[in-house]
Amino acid sequence: MMEMSVLIIGFIIIFFAAFIQGITGFGFAVVAVPFLSLFVPLQMVVPIVGILCILINFYIYLRERSHTEFKEVKMLLIFIILFTPLGTYLLVIIDEFYLKVVTGLLVLFFGVCLWKGKSFSVKNEKAALVTVGSVSGLLNGSIGLMGLPIALFMTNQKADKNVFRANIALLGFVVAILTFFNYIFIGLINKEVIEHSLWFCVALVLGGFVGVKIDKLIKQALFLKISTWVIMISGFFTLLFAG
């Protein structure tokens, strides 16, 4: 069992990560994993966050499910699943440090462009979805950052915030379920992980609830600005904790 001080710190981290996800629909793992891993072994952090990702994505999707664009989600999901094994192979042949540095720099670059009001013209949305899904699968299999390419794409397209949140939450939920079974298969899920996940569920529920409530007060333009900031901060965190 973790020390009480570590549990309290973890509670705060999970609350904040869930708060961010409650507002934007993404960003939970990007915030939770690097900060929790400062206090808890990564072998325990990864499955705990994986379990919590199932719950937070399911909660947000239940609230936003009427806004889901299933055709878009289906195409993204197919290519995420297809390219996740290749992402895992990349992790074997390329040092994780370099993968995180390249990802962080690219995310920061595109995030800054969006922040400055520059968007990228997408003439063929079907081809764009194939590309985004493939890149998301590569990142999911290698460093677990599936949501960032999707968030970048939807922010660039100025997607309605409810559609944004519904689509990315459904994708996050399905992928988190698949990842959970993989964790069971490789032996990462044990009694201690389950116990700590239950403890952190309280923070998850509180943070997610507050975030969702605040989101209802946020206009579309402000939502896109917040999403852009979260994307840039995610890129920065990816670089900061690359080592």
What is the per-residue pLDDT for 213? 92
What separation in angstroms does the CA of 218 have from each of 7, 25, 222, 228? Answer: 32, 13, 6, 14
CA proximity to 115, closest of 143, 161, 156, 77: 156
Residue with tokens 């063929």: 124
Give the tens place of pLDDT for each residue, 120-158. Answer: 778 888 999 999 999 999 888 877 778 888 988 998 888
**pLDDT(186) > 70:** yes
Give the tens place of pLDDT for each residue, 78-122. Answer: 999 999 888 888 877 888 788 888 888 888 888 888 888 787 778
Token couple for 190:
């044990």
CA–CA separation, 228 and 107 (whole Å): 10
Q: What is the DSSP string of 218-235?
A: --HHHHHHHHHHHHHHHH
The DSSP secondary-structure symbol of 66 reads G
Q: What is the mean pLDDT of the chain?
A: 88
What is the per-residue pLDDT for 238? 81
Domain spans, the chain: 4-240
**pLDDT(42) > 80:** no
